[in-house]
Amino acid sequence: MALAAPPDLSDQAVPVQPLARRYPRGLYVEPHRHEWGQLLYAMSGVMWVETPREALIVAPQRAVWLPPGVEHGIRVVSDLQMRNIYLRPALAATLDSQVQVIEVGRLLRELIVTLVEQVDHADAGYYEALVGLALLELQRARRSQIRIVMPVATDRRLSSVCRAVMAAPSLDIPFEQHAETVGASVRTLARLFQNHLGMGFAQWRRQVQLATAAAELVQGRSVSGIARGLGYSPSSFSDMFRRELGVSPSQYAGWPKS
pLDDT at residue 255 in the model: 57
Domain that includes residue 198, residue range? 153-253
Count how many domains the chain has.
2
Contact 124/81 with Cβ under 8 angstroms? Answer: no
Residue 116 sits in the same domain as residue 208: no
Give domain status of residue 121, yes or no.
Answer: yes
Instruction: Decide which of 209 and 256 is more confident.
Output: 209
Is 4 domain-assigned?
no
- Flag whether 81 is in a domain: yes
At 170-219, the pLDDT tens digits run 888 899 999 999 999 999 999 999 999 999 999 999 889 988 888 888 77
Same domain, 96 and 185: no
Distance of CA 149 to the CA centre of its chain: 12
CATH of the domain at 167: 1.10.10.60
Question: Residue 256 pLDDT > 70, yes or no?
Answer: no
Q: Read off the pLDDT band of 6 (50, 70, 90).
A: low
Indicate if 73 and 173 belong to the same structural domain.
no
The average pLDDT across 156-171 equals 89
pTM of the complete model:
0.79
Q: Name, of 11-25, 66-80, 139-153, 220-234, the range with top average pLDDT.
A: 66-80
223 contact partners, CB below 8 Å, separation of at least 6: 217, 234, 237, 238, 249, 250
Distance, in Å, from the CA atom of 82 to the CA atom of 21, rounded to the nearest integer, reads 5
| Same domain (yes/no): 102, 166 | no
Same-domain check for residues 161 and 134 = no
Statement to judge: residues 28 and 125 lie in one domain: yes
